[in-house]
Amino acid sequence: MSKKVRVRFAPSPTGGLHLGGVRTVLYNYLFAKQHGGDFIVRIEDTDQNRFVVGAEDYIFETLEWAGLEPDESVKHGGSYGPYRQSERKDIYLKYAEELVKKGQAYYAFDSPGDLEKMRMHYRTDQNPAPQYDHTIRMKMKNSLTLPESTVKEYLKNEKPVIRVKMPEQEHIILHDMIRGEVNFDCSLVDDKVLLKADGMPTYHLAVVVDDYLMKISHAFRGEEWLSSAPVHIHIWKHLFGLENMPEWAHFPLILGPNGKLSKRDAAKYGFPVFAMNWTDPRTNEFTEGFKEKGFIPAGFINMLALLGWNDGSEQEIFSKEELIEKFSMGRVHSGGAHFDYEKAKWFNHEWIKRSPAETLRPDLSILFENRGINVSDKVKFNRIIDLVKDRCTFLTDFIYQSMFFFYTPEEYELETIKPKWNEQKTQFFTQLLRNWETTDNWISSILENNFQTTAVANQLKPGEVLLPLRIMLVGGKYGPGVFEIASALGREETLLRIEKALPEFGK
């Protein structure tokens, strides 16, 4: 690539960050890092009516958690700021007026009442929602229909909107890196507002101007913006020339059970669709996030990467470094990708198993301490994490899977044990206590060997007393290898638990 790669993610601070938004971040990030480029986050807050307090901070917290932090942004600085569109308001007017001078945009003075009358008057069964387009514009109150003197007078006393003037008989071709050549009939595209009466640009103008000024080389976004592409290409052509336009790619939708993955799916089917917990301050509506569900970043981005892309092989587990190396826009699917929550859980489980305890410990420490469990002994806690992580799908599973390391059982699962209990087994555990009291090295292999020798000496098969030992130490029929448990608990705690539980087995 001859020019430096510069890509951007441009969210509106209107709520939580949906799975599709994070995937857009991920693909932008991977592409930039693969080509030694820059990843920029630009906050598109031109629609102040939809602005939600806290949403901008939430976006950056999400990217930090996922390990997808930008090179340039409101928080990270950079040479092409401001990175918040509301702080760039004064930039856009001259570009909108330049389009007016070139005959590619016009002033529109229609009141809300005028627009409502238009929609009512021109509505038909074939066209139930008339748009302000080439068939309507010459019937409205704008600088195309009014005398020049009237327009000048209006401009003195009113603040009009500026609308793009889409050509009537023209086709615009988009060369999409995923979809190939996409042909748009401009006669089907309405005259979008570019600059609102309050001087704030709409997305259609701001995205083009900002991409030009920030030297964006590639514009990647969701396919919901594909229908707006002819407007943006038209603006590029007449403001900056098509040779300066970035390359485009429109990502497919992420699909749920009944169409586009939505918050409604989350509520109905019980899985998250936002990256992190989000509570809408306007409605107090809560939406659960993948982070709080117990996903780890490695599993989360691995799952996301394969929602619409593969490297052409059967490989499914990719580290972030491998994704940077192997990602290619040419292998992003053009069709929608179905979200499978069971598969998402599988990715997370696989990454928890692969992750060193030292990597998992910081987040797990918070979970445990919030439950009042002291995990200040890092060496011990790391060992416990390594013992139980193969059994954990979520980080939250570690609580249940390792609680017995921190609390002596108060109850025991004895339903299947008691009918087979006898004095011979009581004698076995009494002798095991004496043997383990004097064992030199408290390690699992020596404990296991001693256990088996003691069982044979008491004319028992080791399997007959292995489950009772587990229940004495854990309280139930779960957990990692029982001798690993004993080794991690330590001599004193192990012997105390056997002594405490043994009378319950013989009742």
6-74+253-344 belongs to which CATH class?
alpha beta
- Classified by CATH at the fold level, domain 85-207 comes out as Glutamyl-tRNA Synthetase; domain 3 (3.90.800)
CB environment 42-69: b (16+ within 10 A), e (fewer)? bbbbbbeeeebeebbebbbebbebbebb
Q: Which amino acid belongs to residue 488?
A: A
Give the chain's length.
507
Architecture of the CATH domain 418-505: Orthogonal Bundle (1.10)
Q: Which amino acid belongs to residue 302?
A: N
Closest by Cα among 331, 323, 303 to 33: 323
What are the structural domain ranges in the chain? 6-74+253-344, 85-207, 355-405, 418-505
pLDDT of 1: 54
Q: Is 3 labeled as catalytic in the residue annotation?
A: no
Select which of 263, 343, 380, 500 is catalytic: 263
pLDDT in tens, the chain (507 residues): 568 999 999 999 988 999 999 999 999 999 999 999 999 999 998 877 788 899 999 999 999 999 999 999 999 999 999 999 999 999 999 999 999 999 999 999 999 999 999 999 999 888 888 999 999 999 999 999 999 999 999 999 999 999 999 999 899 999 999 999 999 999 999 999 999 999 999 999 999 999 999 999 999 999 999 999 999 999 999 999 999 999 999 999 999 888 888 888 878 888 999 999 999 999 999 999 999 999 999 999 999 999 999 999 999 999 999 999 999 999 999 999 999 999 999 999 999 999 999 999 999 999 999 999 999 999 999 999 999 999 999 999 999 999 999 999 999 999 999 999 999 999 999 999 999 999 989 999 999 999 999 999 999 999 999 999 999 999 999 999 999 999 999 999 999 999 999 999 987
pTM of the predicted protein model = 0.92
| Dihedral sign of CA atoms 127, 130, 136, 141 in order | positive
pLDDT of 358: 96
pLDDT of 244: 95
Closest by Cα among 368, 390, 351, 373 to 484: 390
Which residues make Cβ contacts (< 8 Å) with residue 105, sequence separation at least 6?
Answer: 96, 99, 162, 163, 164, 165, 194
Q: Which amino acid belongs to residue 12?
A: S
Which residues make Cβ contacts (< 8 Å) with residue 371, sequence separation at least 6?
Answer: 399
CB environment 135-150: b (16+ within 10 A), e (fewer)? ebbeebbbbbebeeee
The token duo for 179 is 């979809």
Tell me if residue 359 falls in helix, strand or coil. Answer: helix
pLDDT of 258: 82
